Chains A and B, each alone.
Chain A
Amino acid sequence: MEKRVTFKGWLLPLLLIAPQLVISGVFFFYPAGEAVWQSLFIPDPFGLSMQYVGLGNFEYLLSDPYYRASFLTTAVFSTLVTLVSMIPALFLAVLADRLVKGAGAYRTMLIWPYAVAPAVAGVLWLFMFNTRIGIVAWYLGLLGYDWNYVLNQNEAMGLVVVASSWGRISYNFLFYFAALQAVPKSVIEAAAIDGARFWRRFFTIVLPLLSPTTFFLLVVNIVYSFFETFGVIHTITGGGPQQATTILVYKVYADGFVGQDLGSSAAQSVILLLVVGLLTVLQFKFVEKRVHY
């Protein structure tokens, strides 16, 4: 789409667009280019010079069992976060949609967690599940369950998944609630007249009508679980135990800043760049489809 009516001149528009271009150039394109460049080198042990290794960093990464494990961890983690944040959200949205009165009040209460930063959410969940003082851990102990996410890999994963999904439930709820309100009531009524009960109507009519929202939320939640959950993992597990919760973004940080392995970290950045690119394409393909909805 283009404007028919435009203003003349080229200096003014260039000046107007300059701030964004300069900032994108300095803090986006240059670092991204630098990541690609650094991924082709390894620094010597003293950090004095760089040695060109071509795709060596990538080859090394892809044969590194820890990196492969991190890929798998990320896949498991984002699948779980997406499910745990979307299913309860849909359920709550369906409930809220049934109510004429009070839906607004519930919505206000449910929005809260969205505003809580992932890192703060991490601290809240850490507090409840802390092995020494956490109230949930204590009650689990009463029931005879020896909760210890510091040692148990599955428990650690479960905890970071729940802490990461918590705030996302609010987010997904808002989108599902809005989508449910947009479902034409005539369709539902027609089905009701034909004798379809609530859950049957839900699965055969409402859920298919929600599919554009569902696809959209799938992509957005996967992106979220890939990148924005760093705070949760850093506050709760620090990637442990035995790297069981080291997702890809966490590994870029751990190798680049803690391990000071710049070449490997840069190569990982490049791989992540590709992953993000793929997800962006997916999202845009989907957004185009959404227009027809």
Chain B
Amino acid sequence: MARTSNPVKEPPAGMVEKRGRGLWFTHVLMILGVLVIFFPIWLAFVASTVPQAAITHPPMPLLPGDQFLTNYKRALFSGVNVPVATMLLNSLVMAMGIAVGKIAISILSAFAIVYFRFPGRNFFFWLIFITLMLPVEVRIVPTYQVIAGFGMLNSYSGLILPLIASATATFLFRQFFLTVPDELAEAARVDGARPMRFFVDILLPMSRTNIAALFVILFIYGWNQYLWPLLITTDPSMNTVVMGIKQMFPSGDDIADWPVIMATSILAMIPPVIVVISMQKLFIRGLVDSEK
């Protein structure tokens, strides 16, 4: 909008023209906001690069020290109860298992629900619908008993399976399939293509972006789980890194090994942060989609 066409004597700065006096102030406020939000992460990073003594005699420094390699090596290869490398591997398996598992079972069931008419279809649909929002936190005791009954404590399947029982992904795929033009299925049917052919050759490639967006969200969801791994991994070598950090604190009055704990915190946040930052567009899309 042109400034000259504005009949008001003093055009309000900012939003409309997106320039003017207010702008540098907006930048200043924004930078302050980012600094405040970022401070806890920065402090954790600093703590992971200094010797223990620098932390136990407060105030701790605000700039990184020279113990980066020592602390991270100590965390990764010896840790407190178990090497952090082991916990990272467990987290990776769990997060990948949840993301891949959930996508696989839900894309198949969405395909069945959208592209077939079969007895019980509506009933099954509602059955899945009910699981939509009930988090594992609510049914921990009985779910724990199921897992214990199957002998799945301290196992990857015990970590993964209960968390893939949710309908969000199914709904997403259902929504998407409903927008796929009918002509495609029609053509496939006329050509005598079997349903699975259609699914693999047409539907799956078309769903690529949705799958990727969902993957980002589910990976973070799986990686950041806390309560469930806390309950079912009593063996430290099966701990995931997010839940393992708390286990690194001494139970009594002893002083915690802060540099190693903070190095572990940084290591625990790197994979999800990389996923979010590098796939920002997909991530935002997945976020908006999965909450709809």
Q: Which residues of A contact B (CB under 8 A)?
A: 1, 3-7, 9-10, 12-14, 16-17, 19-21, 23-24, 26-32, 34-35, 38, 88, 91-92, 95-100, 102, 106-121, 123-125, 127-128, 132-135, 138-139, 166, 169-171, 174-175, 178, 185, 188-189, 192-198, 201, 216, 220, 223, 227-228, 230-231, 234-235, 249, 252-253, 256-257, 262, 265-266, 269, 272-273, 276, 279-280, 283, 287, 290
Contact = CB atoms under 8 A, between A and B. Distances in A.
18 contacts: A12-B112, A20-B109, A20-B128, A31-B145, A38-B141, A99-B26, A108-B277, A113-B41, A117-B269, A124-B43, A135-B59, A139-B59, A178-B288, A198-B15, A223-B133, A234-B230, A256-B140, A283-B133
Given A117-B242, A201-B15, A133 B182 contact: no
Given A3-B178, A138-B59, A252 B195 contact: no
Interface string B7-34: 1100111111010001100110110011
Interface stretch (B65-73, B74-82, B257-265): B257-265
A117 B216 CA distance: 14
Nearest to B224: A117
A12 B116 CA distance: 9
Interface of B: 1, 6-8, 11-16, 18, 22-23, 26-27, 29-30, 33-34, 37-38, 40-41, 43-44, 47, 55-56, 58-60, 104-106, 108-109, 111-121, 124, 127-128, 131-135, 137-146, 161-162, 164-167, 170, 177-178, 182, 185-186, 189, 195-196, 198, 220, 223-227, 230-231, 242-243, 245-246, 255, 258, 261-262, 265, 268-269, 272-273, 275-277, 280, 283-284, 287-288, 291-292
Given A96-B30, A169-B37, A235 B141 contact: no
A192 to B, nearest CB: 5
Contact of B6 (A193, A257, A280): A193
Given A133-B60, A193-B7, A287 B141 contact: no
B262 to A, nearest CB: 7
Given A116-B273, A192-B6, A234-B227, 16 more contacts: A3-B114, A92-B30, A98-B26, A100-B18, A109-B34, A111-B276, A112-B41, A113-B37, A117-B269, A120-B242, A133-B258, A174-B284, A185-B16, A227-B138, A257-B140, A276-B134
Contacts of B115: 3, 6-7, 13
A95 B32 CA distance: 11
Nearest to B121: A13
Nearest to B57: A133
B227 A230 contact: yes
Given A117-B242, A135-B60, A266-B141, A95 B1 contact: no
B142 A125 contact: no
Contacts of A216: 291
Given A26-B146, A230-B226, A266-B142, A114 B276 contact: yes
A198 B16 CA distance: 9
Nearest to B179: A1
A7 B44 contact: no
B interface SS class: helix
Contact of A10 (B14, B116, B141, B269): B116
Contact of B242 (A5, A91, A119, A188): A119
Nearest to A196: B12
A115 B220 contact: yes
A24 B121 contact: no
A interface SS class: helix
Contact of A24 (B18, B128, B242): B128
Given A3-B185, A27-B162, A138 B58 contact: yes
B40 A124 contact: yes
B280 to A, nearest CB: 7
A262 B141 contact: yes
B113 A17 contact: yes
B280 A13 contact: no
Given A19-B105, A134-B58, A119 B142 contact: no
B71 to A, nearest CB: 14
A138 B166 CA distance: 45
A134 to B, nearest CB: 7
A125 B133 CA distance: 29
B124 A17 contact: yes
Contacts of B134: 28, 32, 273, 276
Contacts of A10: 116, 118-119
Contacts of B47: 127
B139 A31 contact: yes
Given A189-B16, A234-B226, A38 B243 contact: no
A263 to B, nearest CB: 10
Contact of B106 (A20, A118, A283): A20
Given A35-B141, A112-B38, A17 B227 contact: no
Contact of B37 (A108, A110, A227): A110
A34 B145 contact: yes
Given A17-B109, A174-B284, A27 B26 contact: no
A280 B177 CA distance: 24
Contacts of A132: 56, 58, 255
A171 to B, nearest CB: 8
Choose among B165, B177, B261 the residue with the greatest number of A CB atoms under 10 Å from its CB. Answer: B165
A9 B23 CA distance: 63
